[in-house]
Amino acid sequence: MQGFLDNLIRSKGFDPATWQYTQFVYLAGMAAAAFIVINFAAITAGIFSWAERRVAARMQSRVGPNRVGPGGFLQWVADAVKLLLKEDLVPDEADKLLFRIAPYFMMVGFACVFVALPFSHRLVVADMNIGLFYILAVTALIVVGIIMSGWSSNSKWSLFGAIRSAAQIISYEIPAGMALMIPVLLAGTMSTQGIIRAQGGWPWQWFLFNNPAAFAAFFIYFISALAEGNRTPFDLPEAESELVSGYNTEYSGMRFSYFFLVEWGNMWVMSALAVTMFLGGWQIPGLSPERFDALRGGLGVVAEVASLAVFAMKTLFFVFVVMWLRWTLPRIRVDQMMNMCWKYLVPASFAGVLFVAAWMLLVNAQPWLGYAMRFTLTALGAVSVTLFALRVLRNIHDTGDKFDFTSNW
Amino acid sequence: MAETLPPSQMQSPGAFGAYVRNVRDSAMSFWEGMSVTLSYMFRKPITSQYPDRMPVSVNHTIPARYRGFLEVDMDICTACQACERACPISVINIDILKGDGKTVPKLRMERFDIDIGKCMYCGLCVEPCPTGAIQHTREFEGAVMHFNNLTLRFVPDSLQPIPAYKPPKGAESFPRKPLGEITRALVKKWDEPPPAFPSKEEAAKADHGKPKAGGLDVAAMGRQLAAKALQVKEDKPKLQKVIEEAMAGTDCGDCGYPDCFGYSDAIAQGKDFSPDKCAPGGADSKAMLETILVSLKTGVVPAPAAPAPGAPSGGSESPAAPASAVPAEAVHKGPPLAQTLSKDELYKVVLDAMAGTDCGDCEYPDCDGYTKGIVYEGQTDLGRCAPGGEDTRTKLYEIMLGTKPPPK
Amino acid sequence: MTKPLEVPTMDMENKEVLRRIEITGDMLLNMGPQHPSTHGVINFLVQTDGEVMKRAIPEVGYLHRSIEKIGERCTYNGFMPYTDRVDYIAAMFANQGWAMAVERLLGMQIPKYAEYCRIIACELNRISSHLISVGTMAMDVGAVTPFPYALREREFINDLLEELCGARLTYNYLRIGGVAFDLPSGYEDKVQGFVDHFEKILDEFNRLITYNEIFIKRLAHLAPISAQMAIDYCLVGPNLRATGYGFDVRKALPYSVYPEFQFDVPVGRGEVGTKGDAWDRFWCRVEEMRQSCRILRQALAQMPQDREIMAKVPRKIKIPEGTEAYSRIESARGDMQYYVVAGAGENAHRVKIRTGSFTAMGIIDALSRGLMIADLVALIASLDVVAPEIDR
């Protein structure tokens, strides 16, 4: 974004390095970007709440909200308005200051990630060369917010939820980080735009199908991201059937909605990161990054919009997968979750990093190995997707139903 | 406890195998589970969007036997109160006015209230109704603005009581309004404010639920009927008609006979001597039948008892007789029935005195056996009928020996 | 002078718990009586040190409605709707227990066709009761989706039973001496169609949740009950059979026309964990649904065609005072027993109902030492307790 602002200043005839108002322009630019990003985050989170309810309903053979707006699309607006109008309760015995600011810690930790996400070829707020490192650091603020909310509620149930959640998130930072190191190794840079540029548009150019360890790393990252976002199967901290909502039991109104905003917005964040790191981000199949940079004029705009659409589609698909997992899987218990993290994911991610390092040396010596592996893995991936789709269709036929997506909407 | 690998297994070479198996099992089971949920996403949801996006109103899709709100068609209600007696929680309240049948109808209903807020929709009231007047409808949408409106009043104005229906003899079906029409009409008024509660003075003056003797002098009518019965004593059909006048005339079947004809015929033929079987008739009917039975046995109409100062005009008046089923001394002056009746008639009387359950507790295979034993084979142990108990024992001693049974 | 014997009461037990908690510094939590996962209004006093519990004491009685006392006031037929409410999820069984007890008081036999109608209604109700049990077990463990699937299948059964007797939950279908209504026309085909459809759904259900790895990890090895412990604590029904002891009243003390059917009784084998753990209890219920389908098929095929639904019973049922009768049936939750003493007139003198959920409460304290709170929820769900049955 800095380059964009510098170009803007130059076009007005000033030299950014010496002009006295440069910093103000930067500040204004940052404020504008922050405004857009926060709005985007909040609105996406709201829309996801509607989408989750519809997806959940259709998976459970029900209809979901469909009265407010077309297809129930404005349901989240109604919910947001309702939450805004609710009574703002602060429990008597609670630690008032911590209780009030805990949600904001979470919001900050969550919203800051958007700064480094590359939405399209040129749309990224700050393309830092330590982009990934920055993301991993900033998401840790969420833990602080959770512990503060649990402790300050002065309720045993909330405390339970907060401590569980803290243990969970902190533990799963490690496999997530290590799994994300693999794309960094493969790309040679921590900048998110750089990692995307190192991939391509076609599936066999993605890091996902690069080698088996990267494939495993994708799943390790995805599972860890689910755990960090408190999503089922790791939603023990807010297990409704056990703890009556865990660390956000005592919250009501807008403060309560912050927690859920963060949770749903996190779905976008984790999916976007997965897409960026492993699935080639905004890359359009058939258009290499260099040719993309050279495009100008109308074609450039079209390509830009196309790359934004590609990124959004991929991310939305993974958001759907996150929702799908929530409504299929049961919840893992705390000790089993820790068990899985430390005994399964951590060793696997370390082993993966070592394997990828070795693999890169091997491919350097024998490039054909790299191509062979990528095409084999892509083929395997395509085959499994087809098998899965067939299995789904067979499920429908086995019980005597028909494929029907549009009725009783 | 939690599922963890025991420490011993961690060092063994099988640990890696278990590790791989765990991962593989998880992956396979997730694959299966996720395919199921995704497949449901592409099927038609099974829920119906009630109430506005329904193709057909729900009342037309629920089965015929559905137990919704109750409905009473007053045109065919015989005021037998069988439904009121059958209800385990007393949600049906019926107030009956008795008449003599000449100036006013014999039975009129002043109040027929069903509290569907308290009703548990069990259907026990529908079964004993002889004409099918009370039925469950398919109405179930019952949100009211005023709680008192949950009492359905099928007699809209208690100052205009509705006469009971006299079903034609032998009728198999009874004409009825379409099911649900009456209840729907009442339900439409649910949002109106209910009638006000009566004030304290009005409530103090009210007579809660006792059958009012509007126009019926029980004693006088009993004597009238007794006199007529004596006149037509030999003509059994005419006697039966006279006796039937003393009953409620609802053909409810609670007496154990299929209809009033059966019961009155049994009395007329001398097979039945109990005057208290007519439940709708209640105490009035019992008094009148007792009078008739006394007169048939003694041959004279009992004289009216001197009215006690301030006593009401109704009530039983058998002289010095407790209100028991068969006033022993009054009916059986003279030799016991065992000596006056023929064996066949005696058989019928004795059989009637037993419980009639064929339980076999008397050591005979059934009631018939025990009766035959007493009548034909000289069985002297008269206390064997266990279901009948003390009641039967008393009656049998009365019939066979004409005395009170000895204490056990 | 000796002190009078101190009979331990619930109050004393709780005070003791509280006293000990003050000493050790553990937390005392109240799970319930309003809680999303205790199946009804039951309270649990949970003494816990962090995540691991020291003990969990159930407190019952929040749903006591004096049904047994009401039995002394109602006529025999009039009490039938009250038995529906003793266990409203498996109401046909409660009806049947009462009908059998009073029929034994009267010493009467009911027509075979009526027995078959009862069996069809009862087995359908067994399936629907197990569907709720299995669905809520999955939901308590975190998988929300199997619950609507189970409810959807239960809706088909509700529709069938609604067509049969007019109600969807509290049926009041049985009467003393038979059943209230005959099967409507075309009913046999509908039941057959449902059974065919349901067996496929059961397979799908197994694929979705029963053999799901996380589900197994949650429930396997959880609170295993040995057969001896189950007998000591008087567990009945699927809880008992999961421990490996295959006692089913339909086979051991056959009643009605059950001897004419061929069906298996699923017994826990410890397939994925220990024998008698929570997963075995879950699996037993799923398999029992399959066996119920089998019984339904045979019943539909073997029914007599005479359509006699009621034996001859007097309108007013009067039984000599003091006669006693006892009936035992295999309800969805196990062995349900009715003891009735006839009173003077048309009422009973005493009605006593013994249900499986009440005794299952007793074992929770013993099993919950050392469990985690998440496990306690799964344990209660696996024992399939329903609060109305506990408190009556």
Chain C 246-275, residues with CB within 8 Å of chain B CB atoms: 273
**Tokens standing for B85?**
């007696």
Phi first, then psi, for residue C322 (nearest 5°) are 95, -10
What chains are in contact with A, requiring at least 3 Cβ pairs below 8 Å?
A: B, C
Q: What is the mean pLDDT of residues A369-374?
A: 90
Is A55 in contact with B41 (Cβ distance < 8 A)? yes
Cα→Cα distances B323→A196, B170, B216, B288, B320, Å: 103, 34, 20, 12, 10
Residues β-bridged to residue C329: C336
Residue A145 or residue B355, greater confidence: A145
Q: How far apart are CA A237 and CA C218, in angstroms?
A: 16
Q: Using CA atoms in the order C21, C24, C25, C27, what is the torsion angle rounded to 10 degrees?
A: -50
Residues of chain B contacting residue C84, judged by C-beta atoms under 8 Å apart: 122
Residues of chain A contacting residue C149, judged by C-beta atoms under 8 Å apart: 60-61
Determine the 3-state secondary structure of A277 from DSSP.
Answer: helix
Residue C2 or residue A141, greater confidence: A141
Q: What is the mean pLDDT of residues A204-209?
A: 90
Whether residue B318 has pLDDT greater than 70: no
Is A328 in contact with B44 (Cβ distance < 8 A)? no
For residues C76-105, one letter each, b for 16 or more C-beta atoms within 10 angstroms of the residue's C-beta and e for the rest, the string is bbbbbbbbbbbbebbbbbbbbbbbbbbbbb
Substitution target from C315, C367, C372 for chain B, most B beta carbons within 10 A: C315
Q: What is the mean pLDDT of residues A224-234?
A: 86
The string of pLDDT tens digits covering residues C16-26 is 766 766 667 67
The string of pLDDT tens digits covering residues B108-145 is 888 899 999 899 999 999 998 888 899 999 988 888 88
**Contacts A–C by Cβ distance under 8 A:** 87
Q: How far apart are CA A265 and CA A267, in angstroms?
A: 5
Q: How far apart are CA A321 and CA B116, in angstroms?
A: 50
What is the model's pLDDT at position A335? 83
Q: How far apart are CA C112 and CA C308, in angstroms?
A: 8
Q: How far apart are CA A209 and CA A206, in angstroms?
A: 6
Residue B152, H or E segment: strand B151-153
Chain A 159-178, residues with CB within 8 Å of chain C CB atoms: 160, 164
What chains are in contact with B, requiring at least 3 Cβ pairs below 8 Å?
A: A, C
Residue B285, H or E segment: helix B282-298
Contact of A392 with chain B, judged by CB distance below 8 Å, is answered with yes
Q: How far apart are CA A336 and CA A326, in angstroms?
A: 18
**Tokens standing for B212?**
């009012």
Poorest-pLDDT segment among B10-24, C78-92, C113-127, C175-189? B10-24
Q: Which domains does chain B have, with CATH numbers?
A: 70-194 (3.30.70), 217-304+323-334 (no CATH), 335-408 (no CATH)
φ/ψ bin of C384: left (φ > 0), alpha (ψ from -120 to 50), beta (otherwise) = left
pLDDT winner (highest mean) among A16-30, A42-56, C22-36: A42-56
Is residue C292 exposed (0-12), middle (13-18) or buried (19+ Cβ within 10 Å)?
buried
Residue A236 or residue A212, greater confidence: A212
Confidence tier at B392 by pLDDT (50, 70, 90): confident
pLDDT winner (highest mean) among B183-197, B320-334, C216-230: C216-230
Residue in B closest to A405 by C-alpha: B42
Q: Report the gap between the CA of B129 and the closest CA in chain C (Å).
A: 12
What is the model's pLDDT at position B219? 77
Q: What is the mean pLDDT of residues C71-86?
A: 92
Contact of A59 with chain B, judged by CB distance below 8 Å, is answered with yes
Residues of chain B contacting residue C79, judged by C-beta atoms under 8 Å apart: 88
The string of pLDDT tens digits covering residues C315-357 is 788 888 889 999 999 999 989 999 999 988 888 999 999 998 8
Closest CA to B386 of C2, A324, C322: C322
Contact A274, A182 (CB under 8 A): no
Q: How far apart are CA B49 and CA A66, in angstroms?
A: 10
Q: What is the mean pLDDT of residues B212-233?
A: 74
Q: Indicate the pTM of the whole model.
A: 0.81
Q: What is the mean pLDDT of residues B276-287?
A: 81
Order of all β-strands in the sheet with C43-49 = C27-31, C43-49, C52-59
Q: How far apart are CA A376 and CA A203, in angstroms?
A: 11
Whether residue C92 has pLDDT greater than 90: yes
Q: How far apart are CA B275 and CA B247, in angstroms?
A: 10
What is the model's pLDDT at position B331? 44
Residues of chain B contacting residue C214, judged by C-beta atoms under 8 Å apart: 26, 29
Closest CA to A199 of A307, A37, A295: A307
DSSP string computed for C342-368: E-STTBEEEEEEE-HHHHHHHHHHHHT
What is the model's pLDDT at position B216? 63
Q: Which domains does chain C have, with CATH numbers?
A: 12-59 (no CATH), 67-391 (1.10.645.10)
Q: How far apart are CA B357 and CA B370, in angstroms?
A: 12
The string of pLDDT tens digits covering residues B70-114 is 999 999 998 888 898 889 998 999 888 877 777 777 788 888 999
Q: How far apart are CA C58 and CA C43, in angstroms?
A: 6
Whether residue C77 has pLDDT greater than 70: yes
Residue C222 or residue B197, greater confidence: C222
Whether residue B211 has pLDDT greater than 60: no
Q: Which long-range contacts (CB under 8 A, 24 or more apart) does C341-348 make?
A: C342/C105, C343/C72, C345/C318, C346/C75, C346/C76, C346/C316, C346/C317, C346/C318, C347/C71, C347/C72, C347/C73, C347/C74, C347/C75, C347/C76, C348/C71, C348/C72, C348/C76, C348/C79
Q: How far apart are CA A58 and CA A324, in angstroms?
A: 11
Contact C189, C345 (CB under 8 A): no
Q: What is the mean pLDDT of residues A49-74?
A: 89
DSSP string computed for A6-39: HHHHHHTT--TTT-TTHHHHHHHHHHHHHHHHHH
Q: What is the mean pLDDT of residues B6-17?
A: 59
Closest CA to B48 of B40, B39, B56: B56
Q: Using CA atoms in the order C6, C9, C11, C14, what is the torsion angle rounded to 10 degrees?
A: 100
Cα→Cα distances B343→A270, A352, B337, B347, B348, Å: 100, 107, 10, 6, 9
Residue B109, H or E segment: strand B107-115
- Which residue shows structure tokens 């049985």? C174
Substitution target from C204, C214, C217, C375 for chain A, most A beta carbons within 10 A: C214
The string of pLDDT tens digits covering residues A282-325 is 888 888 888 888 888 888 888 889 999 999 999 999 999 999 99
Cα→Cα distances B255→B272, B399, C334, Å: 11, 22, 41
What is the model's pLDDT at position B215? 58
DSSP string computed for B307-339: PPTT--S-S---TT--S-SS-HHHH--SS-HHH
Whether residue A272 has pLDDT greater than 80: yes
Q: Using CA atoms in the order B107, B108, B111, B113, what is the torsion angle rounded to 10 degrees?
A: 60
Q: What is the mean pLDDT of residues A253-270?
A: 87
Q: Report the gap between the CA of C4 and the closest CA in chain B (Å).
A: 41
Whether residue B33 has pLDDT greater than 70: yes
Residue in C closest to A237 by C-alpha: C374
Q: How far apart are CA B106 and CA A88, in angstroms?
A: 69
Whether residue C174 has pLDDT greater than 80: yes
Contact of A393 with chain B, judged by CB distance below 8 Å, is answered with yes
Contact C227, C244 (CB under 8 A): yes
Contact C379, C282 (CB under 8 A): no
Is C141 in contact with A232 (Cβ distance < 8 A)? no
Residues of chain C contacting residue A236, judged by C-beta atoms under 8 Å apart: 374
Determine the 3-state secondary structure of B16 from DSSP.
Answer: helix
Is A333 in contact with C218 (Cβ distance < 8 A)? yes
Q: How far apart are CA C175 and CA C209, in angstroms?
A: 39
Contact of A339 with chain C, judged by CB distance below 8 Å, is answered with no
Contact of A325 with chain B, judged by CB distance below 8 Å, is answered with yes
Cα→Cα distances C114→B221, C99, C164, C291, C304, Å: 47, 12, 13, 21, 10
Residues of chain A contacting residue B49, judged by C-beta atoms under 8 Å apart: 63, 66, 408
Q: Report the gap between the CA of A391 and the closest CA in chain C (Å).
A: 12
Determine the 3-state secondary structure of C6 from DSSP.
Answer: coil
Q: What residues in chain C have their Cβ under 8 A from chain A's Cβ atoms? A: 27, 29, 35-37, 51, 138-145, 148-149, 152, 197, 200-201, 203-204, 208-209, 212, 214-215, 217-218, 372-375, 377
Residues of chain A contacting residue B44, judged by C-beta atoms under 8 Å apart: 401-402, 404, 407-408
Question: Cα C201 vs. chain centroid, distance in angstroms?
Answer: 23
The string of pLDDT tens digits covering residues B238-275 is 888 888 877 877 777 778 787 788 888 888 888 888 88
Is B387 in contact with C321 (Cβ distance < 8 A)? no
Is residue B182 exposed (0-12), middle (13-18) or buried (19+ Cβ within 10 Å)?
buried
The string of pLDDT tens digits covering residues C241-266 is 999 998 999 999 999 899 999 999 99
The string of pLDDT tens digits covering residues A341-360 is 999 999 999 999 999 999 99
Cis peptide leading into A233, omega within 30 of 0? Answer: yes
Residues of chain B contacting residue A403, judged by C-beta atoms under 8 Å apart: 42-43
Contact C154, C128 (CB under 8 A): yes
Is A408 in contact with B33 (Cβ distance < 8 A)? no
Q: Report the gap between the CA of A344 and the closest CA in chain C (Å).
A: 15
What is the model's pLDDT at position B396? 84
The string of pLDDT tens digits covering residues A167-181 is 888 999 999 999 999
The string of pLDDT tens digits covering residues B330-389 is 344 567 777 777 777 788 888 877 766 555 556 676 677 888 888 887 777 777 776 666
Question: What angle is formed at CA B364 by the lines to CA B360 and CA B370, rounded to 5 degrees?
Answer: 105
Whether residue A241 has pLDDT greater than 50: no
Closest CA to B88 of B42, B126, B119, B128: B119
Chain A 328-357, residues with CB within 8 Å of chain B CB atoms: 328-329, 333, 335-336, 339, 344
Whether residue B217 has pLDDT greater than 80: no
Is C204 in contact with A398 (Cβ distance < 8 A)? yes
Poorest-pLDDT segment among A36-50, B157-171, B375-389? B375-389
| Nearby residues of B131 by Cβ (< 8 Å), 6 or more positions away | B76, B77, B78, B165, B167, B174
Closest CA to A106 of A146, A133, A137, A134: A146
What is the model's pLDDT at position C21? 67
Q: How far apart are CA C339 and CA C336, in angstroms?
A: 10
